[in-house]
């Protein structure tokens, strides 16, 4: 099935893991977006070689960009470059994927760990969304834009996690304590809800998406899902988003996760 994602897309943290696979599947889709902005911390560095090769293979489709979610200057510069490159200034889909996890027990977790993870996983998506908002607004309001909300009109997808669920914490906590990560992603969910209410009037859909437990550097080799299957599911969910999904927390199969 072809995940329909016409328009332009920006993915943060796109040099490895789920972000890289998102860019790969978007490039290789039979109905690819018009443009993919693949953002990462160090697009010229050794950890972005696979992404650079992908961009070389699809030069008309992919632009790599430097964007560190903890560095306001790089976010603003990326937004400026995207604005320059977009024909009509319209960005249709922003995927806030970049994140870190510092696992450990309560004894291992201090202010430094809490703040570092919160800055990357919560403040980062807030700043990125804020900086790209003019481009998302242009997409949502351009002549001929559909009246229903969707990723083809304008949308922000925040990559969250099952571990953000307060209701399901008792099922998952003991095998994965992860204080900073869980707290940062629960806060990301609230950010998602706030943005979804705030941007509804602009016609911009904001939601949160759990990719499943995935074989990446973060998920580890024992994870049951491959990046291919997770991202295939994520793109199916993203491409079918509509008004009813404003502010939702869904998993890669489209199932709702309780807050
Ligand atoms: P990885 O650790 O494999 O990749 C993380 C990506 O985020 C890398 O590209 C990394 O770049 C980037 N990143 C980290 N910090 C920053 C920053 N400050 N600015 C920009 N980019 C940054 O993680 P996954 O691919 O597994 O995770 C992707 C998303 O999915 C995350 O939001 C994660 O929380 C979520 N998720 C993952 C699960 C899993 O099982 N894998 C489960 C649930 C949710 P760099 O190479 O520069 O470090």
What mean pLDDT is predicted for residues 37-53? 98
Q: Is 221 in the pocket of ligand 1 (CB under 6 A)?
A: no
CA 107 to chain centre: 31
* Interacting residues of 78 by C-beta distance below 8 A, sequence separation 6+: 37, 39, 65, 66, 67, 131
Report the distance separating Cα 147 and Cα 182, nearest Å: 36
pLDDT score for 147: 83
Report the distance separating Cα 128 and Cα 126, nearest Å: 6
> Of 251, 227, 257, 258, nearest to 237 (Cα)?
251
Q: Is 40 in the pocket of ligand 1 (CB under 6 A)?
A: yes
What mean pLDDT is predicted for residues 210-239? 97
CA angle 253, 120, 106 (to 5 degrees): 90
Residue 1 has pLDDT above 60, yes or no: no
Delineate the domains of the chain, giving CATH numbers in brackets.
8-251 (3.40.50.720)
* Site to substitute for ligand 1 among 38, 51, 64, 98, most atoms within 8 A of C-beta: 98
pLDDT score for 104: 86
* CA 13–ligand 1 middle distance (angstroms): 6
Residue with CA at minimum distance from ligand 1 atom 27: 18
pLDDT score for 87: 77
pLDDT tens profile 157-209: 999 999 999 999 989 888 889 999 999 999 999 999 999 999 999 999 999 99
Task: Name the strands in the sheet holding 35-40, side by side, starting at the edge strand that comes first in the sequence.
Answer: 62-66, 35-40, 8-11, 93-96, 155-159, 205-210, 249-251
pLDDT score for 3: 56
Q: Is 69 in the pocket of ligand 1 (CB under 6 A)?
A: yes
CB atoms within 10 A of CB 34: 15
* Site to substitute for ligand 1 among 20, 211, 223, most atoms within 8 A of C-beta: 211
Quote the mean pLDDT of the chain.
95
Q: Is 44 in the pocket of ligand 1 (CB under 6 A)?
A: no
pLDDT tens profile 66-109: 999 999 999 999 999 999 999 788 999 999 999 999 998 999 99
Residue with CA at minimum distance from ligand 1 atom 11: 13
Query: In the chain, pLDDT over 70 holds for what percent of residues?
Result: 98
* Site to substitute for ligand 1 among 19, 23, 78, 237, most atoms within 8 A of C-beta: 19
pLDDT tens profile 8-23: 999 999 999 999 999 9
pLDDT band at 2 (very low <50, low <70, confident <90, very high): low
Report the distance separating Cα 251 and Cα 259, nearest Å: 12
Q: Is 164 in the pocket of ligand 1 (CB under 6 A)?
A: no
Report the distance separating Cα 101 and Cα 114, nearest Å: 10
- pTM, to two decimals: 0.97
């Amino acid at each position: 099935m072809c995940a329909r994602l016409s328009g332009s897309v920006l993915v943060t943290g796109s040099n490895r893991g789920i972000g890289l696979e998102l860019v790969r599947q978007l490039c290789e889709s039979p109905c690819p977006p018009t443009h993919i902005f693949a953002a990462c911390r160090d697009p010229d560095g050794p950890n972005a070689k696979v992404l650079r090769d992908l961009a070389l293979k699809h030069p008309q489709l992919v632009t790599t960009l430097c964007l560190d979610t903890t560095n306001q200057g790089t976010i603003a510069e990326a937004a400026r470059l995207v604005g320059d490159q977009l024909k009509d200034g319209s960005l249709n889909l922003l995927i806030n994927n970049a994140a870190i996890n510092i696992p450990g027990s309560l004894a291992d977790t201090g202010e430094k760990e809490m703040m570092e993870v919160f800055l990357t996983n919560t403040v980062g998506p807030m700043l990125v969304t804020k900086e790209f908002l003019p481009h998302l607004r242009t997409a949502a309001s351009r002549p001929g834009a559909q009246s229903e909300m969707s990723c083809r009109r304008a949308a922000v997808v925040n990559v969250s996690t099952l571990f953000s669920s307060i209701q399901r914490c008792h099922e998952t906590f003991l095998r994965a304590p992860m204080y900073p990560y869980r707290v940062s992603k629960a806060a990301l969910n609230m950010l998602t809800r706030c943005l979804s209410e705030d941007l509804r009037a602009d016609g911009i859909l904001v939601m949160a998406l759990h990719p499943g437990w995935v074989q990446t550097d973060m998920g580890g080799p024992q994870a049951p899902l491959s990046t291919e299957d997770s991202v295939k599911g994520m793109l199916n969910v993203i491409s079918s988003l509509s008004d009813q999904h404003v502010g939702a927390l869904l998993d890669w199969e489209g199932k709702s996760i309780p807050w």
